[in-house]
Chains A and B, each alone.
Chain A
Amino acid sequence: ETGVTQSPTHLIKTRGQQVTLRCSSQSGHNTVSWYQQALGQGPQFIFQYYREEENGRGNFPPRFSGLQFPNYSSELNVNALELDDSALYLCASSLEAGRVYNEQFFGPGTRLTVL
Chain B
Amino acid sequence: QQPVQSPQAVILREGEDAVINCSSSKALYSVHWYRQKHGEAPVFLMILLKGGEQKGHEKISASFNEKKQQSSLYLTASQLSYSGTYFCGTEEHQGGSEKLVFGKGTKLTVNP
Interface residues, chain A, CB within 8 Å of chain B?
4, 33, 35, 40-45, 48, 55-58, 90, 92, 99-109
Contact = CB atoms under 8 A, between A and B. Distances in A.
A106 B43 contact: yes
Interface of B: 2, 30, 32, 34, 40-44, 47, 49, 55, 87, 89, 91, 97-105
Contact of A45 (B40, B43, B87, B99): B99
Contacts of B103: 42
A56 B29 CA distance: 15
27 contacts: A33-B100, A40-B104, A41-B104, A42-B2, A42-B87, A42-B105, A43-B42, A43-B102, A45-B99, A45-B101, A48-B98, A48-B99, A56-B98, A57-B99, A58-B99, A92-B42, A99-B98, A100-B49, A101-B30, A101-B32, A101-B100, A104-B44, A106-B41, A106-B43, A107-B41, A108-B41, A109-B41
A101 B105 contact: no
B97 A55 contact: yes
Nearest to A108: B41
A6 B103 CA distance: 24
A106 B47 CA distance: 15
Nearest 9 Cβ contacts at the A-B interface: A42-B102, A56-B97, A106-B41, A103-B44, A56-B99, A45-B99, A42-B87, A106-B42, A43-B102
